[in-house]
């Protein structure tokens, strides 16, 4: 029964030949990646990292692990697998011999071998926590064979280390999507940064967890206390997530099922209850090459977008929506993500639908724009922003009476234009823009009084707001 819950793997050559690992005499026999007798390991995902920077040439397998007896408190874990021979690696990048291959992380680390913790955030190593569950982990590597995003940029990166982003559904505060950066430092850098006690060959890479600002966890049990971060923290329910990486502009796109528009909080109504169908929402994340900070960006390329203001990808009516995990793939030639999902309307049969997503490159915009046309308002209206005063971002609601050229801009107290939030044609309807306190060049503006003006060829309206740093 124990091995029913182990995570197994199988290497396959380019010609389809099944490859053996750890001296297996039969090449068609799978081998255990995890085999913990007291834990249940489920929901695995895997990605390969082998090109960016120094060649890591390995897989990262992520999974959800809970106590076998109760499955209370499952957390996200990972295992490194060497690409050339399938051997498991510890977090120093060293091959683990067969006799010590599995279940040696109980004493902590580093080096963790082979399993290492990813999603704990100060919670007990041994589970517990009742309803606090982490599941559905997905991993995507910033693997860019051509280094195209840096070749096209004038920015000189501070860090060029290989990284993976891991995203999962997290129930510590209901249902949110959380993430964690996992980075690989070549051995010489790891030794200089005191990430390992002895220097080895730069063919080895030390794996560490990174915070949003690029800092790393202190060794040993501090990995368990390392804070994860919410990819979305909308107060209503999100679950069933997926993840992909854009090799052209260096962004990750996390997608998930989202119930904010049906106001469902995830509560189960008991036997016979039906889960409402969901919309598909997404959030892009990008590592700023200037400072190695992970930033949230919206579909217009605005940096530091609030994590609760995400982009609707499949925005459906109340009686229709997605009924299962969405899938996602990135197409290099068109710089576009394809998002597929199960679509159901009422009690009708399930179909497979797809939407295409193509966001503006990071730093290419200054505002988050959300909105769909509604019934035509009676006049041009510009509401007071909220919150006001504000620190990180503020929302501005406005309405246009008929299809028209519209311009929404921000000015400082001297009357100088500092940001254009929208300029173009709008059909009649209501819209919301969000300003994150940056100018048109993506620079953070100082505290002070600012004015925002909504203009059409016929009229304009102005309101005042206060930015407090």
pLDDT tens across 175-191, in order?
Answer: 899 999 999 988 888 88
How far is it, in rounded angstroms, from Cα 69 to Cα 72? Answer: 8
How far is it, in rounded angstroms, from Cα 254 to Cα 165? Answer: 10
**Confidence category of residue 70, pLDDT binned at 50, 70, 90:** low
Give whichever of 108-122, 149-163, 398-412 has the largest mean pLDDT.
Answer: 398-412
Rounded average pLDDT over 383-391: 82
Is residue 17's pLDDT more than 50?
A: yes
Rounded to two decimals, the pTM is 0.71
Task: Domains for the chain: give ranges and CATH numbers.
Answer: 2-365 (no CATH), 381-467 (2.60.40.4070)
Rounded average pLDDT over 90-97: 88
pLDDT attached to residue 140: 95
Is residue 154's pLDDT more than 60?
A: no
Give whichever of 59-73, 102-116, 329-343, 421-435 has the largest mean pLDDT.
Answer: 421-435
Rounded average pLDDT over 141-170: 63
pLDDT attached to residue 261: 81
pLDDT attached to residue 50: 79
pLDDT attached to residue 63: 92
Rounded average pLDDT over 341-365: 79
pLDDT attached to residue 374: 37
pLDDT tens figures, 194-204 = 888 888 887 88
pLDDT attached to residue 155: 39
Is residue 30's pLDDT more than 60?
A: yes
Mean pLDDT of the chain: 78
Rounded average pLDDT over 432-437: 90
pLDDT attached to residue 69: 56
**Confidence category of residue 376, pLDDT binned at 50, 70, 90:** very low
């Amino acid at each position: 029964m124990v091995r029913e819950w182990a995570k197994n793997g199988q290497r396959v050559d380019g010609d389809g030949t099944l490859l053996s690992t750890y001296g297996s005499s039969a090449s068609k026999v799978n081998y255990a990646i995890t085999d913990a007798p007291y834990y249940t390991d489920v929901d695995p995902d895997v990605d390969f990292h082998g090109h960016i920077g120094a060649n890591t040439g390995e897989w990262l397998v992520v999974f959800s692990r809970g106590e076998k007896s109760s499955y209370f408190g499952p957390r996200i874990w990972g295992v490194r697998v060497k690409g050339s021979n399938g051997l498991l690696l510890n977090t120093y990048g060293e091959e683990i011999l067969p006799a010590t291959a599995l279940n040696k992380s109980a004493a902590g680390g580093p080096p963790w071998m082979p399993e290492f913790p990813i999603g704990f955030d100060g919670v007990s190593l041994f589970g517990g926590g009742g309803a606090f569950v982490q599941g559905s982990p997905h991993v995507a590597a910033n693997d860019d064979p051509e280094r195209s995003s840096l070749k096209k940029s004038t920015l000189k990166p501070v860090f060029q280390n290989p990284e993976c982003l891991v995203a999962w559904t997290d129930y510590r505060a209901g249902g949110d999507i959380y993430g964690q950066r996992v980075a690989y430092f070549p051995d010489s850098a790891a030794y200089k940064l005191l990430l390992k006690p002895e220097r080895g060959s730069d063919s080895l890479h030390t794996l560490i967890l990174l915070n949003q600002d690029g800092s790393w966890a202190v060794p040993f049990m501090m990995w368990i206390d390392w804070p994860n971060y919410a990819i979305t923290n909308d107060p209503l329910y999100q679950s069933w997530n997926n993840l992909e990486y854009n090799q052209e502009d260096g962004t990750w796109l996390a997608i998930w099922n989202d119930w904010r528009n049906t106001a469902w909080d995830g509560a189960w109504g008991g036997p016979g209850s039906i889960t409402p169908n969901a919309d598909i929402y997404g959030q892009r994340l990008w590592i700023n090459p200037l400072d190695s900070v992970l930033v949230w960006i919206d579909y217009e390329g605005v940096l530091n977008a609030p994590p609760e203001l995400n982009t609707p990808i499949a925005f459906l009516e109340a009686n229709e929506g997605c009924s299962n995990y969405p899938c996602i793939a990135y197409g290099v030639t068109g710089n576009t993500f394809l998002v597929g999902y199960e679509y159901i309307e009422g009690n009708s049969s399930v179909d497979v639908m797809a939407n295409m997503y193509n966001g503006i490159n990071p730093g290419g915009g200054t505002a988050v724009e959300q909105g769909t046309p509604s019934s035509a308002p009676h006049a041009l209206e510009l509401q007071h922003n909220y919150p006001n005063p504000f620190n990180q971002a503020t929302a501005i609601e406005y309405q246009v009476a008929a299809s028209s050229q519209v311009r929404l801009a921000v000015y400082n107290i001297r009357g100088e234009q500092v940001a254009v939030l929208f300029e173009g044609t709008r059909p009649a309807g209501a819209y919301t823009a969000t300003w994150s306190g940056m100018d048109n060049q993506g620079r953070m503006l100082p505290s002070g009084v600012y004015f925002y003006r909504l203009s059409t060829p016929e009229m304009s309206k102005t309101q005042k707001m206060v930015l407090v740093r």
